[in-house]
A = this chain, B = another copy of it.
């Protein structure tokens, strides 16, 4: 009620809320047209303000993607770490990781698309985006270790090239963000289930069917 209290909480969170709104608008436009092809004015239009006004909230166009991507990656790794810490077997870990990936895609759909399409450009152009390359590397290591373990445990086929399997899954799963529409025919969870089935068992009819 006191002005003091409003300053300490109310104002801060109002600002954070506004930032989040603006970033959501930016993410949608960046994902749709590509970061480089999107003008700051288009972002501002989408947010319902004028171009210059964005600079009250953000340093630069660059900072906007930065915040969009780091927010997504932080959430993604928190989820992955939860899965890895659960101490499941290889197959169940794989299932959980794919489920987690789709959950994350659902929550950060546009950020995921941006991450897919713009990472190479951003990493090549600005040092500050080096963490994108780090994340990609850690992601690969995590999956290769998992596949290794699954093969050792007899849960996964041993006749496949592990790096290839990793890329196969990664591409199939994450590119889904490009076409997935929340509230469409299938929920993210259902898509995850079907993808899991395909990854694990393939699309061929079983002999016994």
Enumerate chain A interface residues (CB-CB to B < 8 A): 32-37, 91, 117-118, 120-121, 124-125, 154-161, 164-165, 167-169, 171-172, 175-176, 178-179, 186, 191, 194-195, 197-206, 209
Q: Which residue of B lies closest to A151 (CB)?
A: B205
Q: Assess the A202–B205 pair: CB atoms within 8 A.
A: no
A198 CA to B198 CA in the complex, in Å?
8
A154 CA to B188 CA in the complex, in Å?
28
Would you give the shortest CB distance from A26 to chain B, in whole angstroms?
16
Select which of B36, B160, B194 is within 8 A of A198 by beta carbon. Answer: B160
A125 CA to B42 CA in the complex, in Å?
13
Interface class of chain A by DSSP: helix
Select which of B118, B176, B197 is within 8 A of A202 by beta carbon. Answer: B197
- B residues near A117, Cβ cutoff 8 Å: 34, 117
Q: Assess the A121–B171 pair: CB atoms within 8 A.
A: no
A186 CA to B35 CA in the complex, in Å?
33
- B residues near A169, Cβ cutoff 8 Å: 203
Q: Assess the B34–A198 pair: CB atoms within 8 A.
A: no
A195 CA to B171 CA in the complex, in Å?
12
